Structure 1
Amino acid sequence: MTTTVSQISVWGNGLALRLTKPMAKAAGIAEGTAVRVIAKPGRIVIEAETEPTLEDMLAAFDPKRHGGELMAFEPVGAEVIG
């Protein structure tokens, strides 16, 4: 999760929030990405409309963080193929 403090600015007749490149990258979004904006009192939630593709997930995979043996013990029982 990436957190930052930002500021709302005037843009034309509306207001805008600028996303930094690291924020956009952490969210997996780019120019043209469809988003859902949910507004509640004191809160704005922005969600990407699309799920990341397998290619996106593999590109974000970090072996140092996510790698390693899933089961650190020897197989026992029916899963042993002999």
Structure 2
Amino acid sequence: MAEVFEGTVQKWGNGLAIRLTRRVARASGIEEGTNVVIKADMGVLVVETKRRPMTLEERLAHFDPKRHGGEAMALRPVGKEVL
């Protein structure tokens, strides 16, 4: 079930801010330093986490040789690649 949060928009410097409770931040997967995309329309504000590209280390950690390994082409060599 979605976490429901009611808050108040407050002045923060020259802009406005909404503080997230710990429960809302945890439920949405947002933590300090999370990049977000904010979409705004009259009366509607949507905040979504922005996925960053995975680092090489993260990609290698997800690599499963049984699932991703093996031949890329199951066919026999044809043409100039035959030695």
Aligned to 1:76: none
Q: For residue 10 of structure 1, give the secondary structure of its aligned residue in structure 2.
A: strand
Q: Does 1:5 align with 2:3?
A: no
What is residue 27 of structure 2 aligned with on the other side? 26
Runs of at least 4 residues off by over 4 Å = none
For structure 1, the residue ranges without an aligned partner over 5 or more in a row are 52-82
Extract unaligned runs of 5+ from structure 2: 53-83
TM-score by length of 1: 0.60
Structure 2: distance between partners of 1:29 and 1:5 = 17
Counterpart CA distance in 2 for 1:36 and 1:5 is: 20
For the aligned residue pairs, the C-alpha RMSD in angstroms reads 1.2
TM-score under structure 2 length normalisation = 0.59
- Max Rg structure: 2
Deviation of 1:29 (Å):
1.0
Matches within 5 A, 1:41-60: 41-50=42-51
CA deviation digits over 1:30-69, x for unaligned, max 9? 0000000000001100001128xxxxxxxxxxxxxxxxxx
Percent identity reads 41
User: Which residue of the partner structure matches residue 36 of structure 2?
Assistant: 35
Give the secondary-structure state (helix, strand or coil) at the position aligned to 1:15: strand
Aligned residues: 51
* Aligned counterparts of 2:33 and 2:41: Cα–Cα separation in 1: 24
